Structures are given as C-alpha cells and as structure tokens.
Amino acid sequence: MTEQHAGSRIRVDSLTSDGQDTAAQWAQRLGLPLADADADFALQVAEDGLQLQQLGDDAPGPVRVDFIEGKAAHRRLFGGGSGQMIAKAVGIQPGVRPRVLDATAGLGKDAFVLASLGCEVSLIERQPIIAALLEDGLARGVRDLEVGGIIAQMRLLTGNSIELIRQWEGEPPQVIYLDPMFPHREKTALVKKEMRLFRPLVGDDMDAPALLEAALALASHRVVVKRPRKAPSIEGAKPSYALDGKSSRYDIYPIKALKIARP
C-alpha cells in the first residue's frame, strides 16, 4: 500500500462535543496526530460526516463524500441516466450492466453514477485520507432509504491499485475504469475545489502506465480511461477509439464485446 500524503501534514479534529472518540479512532487507524499546530490539513469529525479541511487563510471549504444530497443527488435524478457519456464508455446498453472496477475511486462520484445505473462497482482508493472520506460517505449513504440500495452495489477496497489488480482473486471485472491524476497546466489546476485540495495531498499518478498495463491484463471485456479532452493518452497500449465530451474524453480499450446476459 502506498501511503502518500505528498509531504503534507495532517491532524484529526472533532468539531462536535461527542466526536472525540471517533476522532481518536480515525487518528489511530490512519497514524495521524490529534494535535499539530503546523498541520496543512485537518481531517474533521463533523455533524454531517467526516470531512477534510485545508488549513490557512485562503483555503477552500471542506470536502466530504455525500451520496445523498447535493451534486450526487442532482446527477442521479437529472444527469441523463444511461445516456451519459460515462455509461456509454463502460458499455451500458439495454440488458447490459457490466461489473466495473473503478481503480482510481477518489470521492466515488463516477462509481456512484455507475451503481445508480445498475452496475456492481468495486472501488479502489490508495490515498488513506481519501479512502476514509469515501468509507464514511458509503456508511452514511447505505442507511438512506433512497440511495441505500445503490450503495449496496458498491464495494470499497483500500490499497495500491496496481498491487490489488495483480493479486485479484475470483471472477475478474468486466470493465476497469481509470481516472488518474496527471500534471495539469497551472491555469486548469485549480478549477475545482476538490482538485485544489487533493493535488498537494495526493500528487500525480506517475505510475499510470503500469496501472493501465495491469488493468488490461485483468479486465475481461474492456478498460476505460478518463482524460482531459486535449491530453495525450496514457503511455503504452493505444486506445481503439475515444468518446469526446466538452472538457474530458474516454479512451476505450476493448478486449471483447459486452453481450446481453441470458437468463
């Protein structure tokens, strides 16, 4: 497992009167201090879930995983269903809901979309802090009446994606989905709050070529890589085709056709 904080110092705080024990448990699990005046980030136990707050005068607001309300709810209700480009990229079609491994899960947004469309989704997140946010969001979501059934189709794995893929046991995923962090030009690096928060914490996925190679060796039907629209493909095998959107594209590496499952 690659426990990377990219040189950032992180402490764990409780923002609630009854959250001290929970904060202590996270601190122990993650090997983080409960007090550090020089910390760059604070992992905070708040009323509405675990959140990550960058510290400093010009820091953006906190980030947490929320599958119940906000953007996730809006996309679930009004995002276009199986007509979304990500759905087409992974091969969703009438009668076809592939088993997907999202090997760069992040905050789980894309995985949740695929699960909401009927896919079983395994998620891998190697950055321990982000994995903690994701674990907390899944735990809250599974108790919700509206999205609990969707969350039940999502399985979180923590660790190095390349290692977990190479050591995979049991039936392989039909589709492996990758959305690696890459170096971006400065004018685009701070567009989203999450990117502004995570880039100093996570750094860039410089091992993306090895991840793609491992994914192609495991996936039974296809590998899909999400990229900025004008960015080059990952070094290594070339995609057979791509689906282009306004700001991003999906490079498709087909292995064999996805077919309707027979009863």
- pLDDT band, residue 20 (cuts 50/70/90): very high
* 126 assigned to a ligand binding site: yes
pLDDT at 82: 77
Asked whether residue 110 carries a pLDDT value surpassing 70, the answer given is yes
Answer with the residue of higher pLDDT: 148 or 72.
148
DSSP category for residue 169: -
Say whether 84 sits in a helix, a strand or coil.
coil
CA angle 47, 111, 190 (to 5 degrees): 70
pLDDT tens sequence across 170-201: 999 999 999 987 655 444 444 455 666 666 66
Supply the pLDDT for residue 263.
Answer: 56
pLDDT score for 188:
47
Mean pLDDT score across all residues of the chain:
87
The model's pTM is: 0.89
Q: Is 48 annotated as a binding residue?
A: no
Instruction: Identify the band that residue 141 occupies on the pLDDT scale cut at 50, 70 and 90.
Output: very high
- Per-residue pLDDT, averaged over 110-124, amounts to 96
Q: Residue 187: its pLDDT value, please?
A: 45
Structural domains in the chain plus CATH codes:
10-54 (3.40.1630), 70-254 (3.40.50.150)
pLDDT, one tens digit per residue, over 208-230 is 999 999 999 999 999 999 999 88
Residue 103 has pLDDT above 60, yes or no: yes
Question: According to the annotation, is 11 in a ligand binding site?
Answer: no
Q: How far apart, in whole angstroms, are the C-alpha atoms of residue 232 and residue 237?
A: 12
Answer yes or no: is pLDDT of 232 > 50. Answer: yes
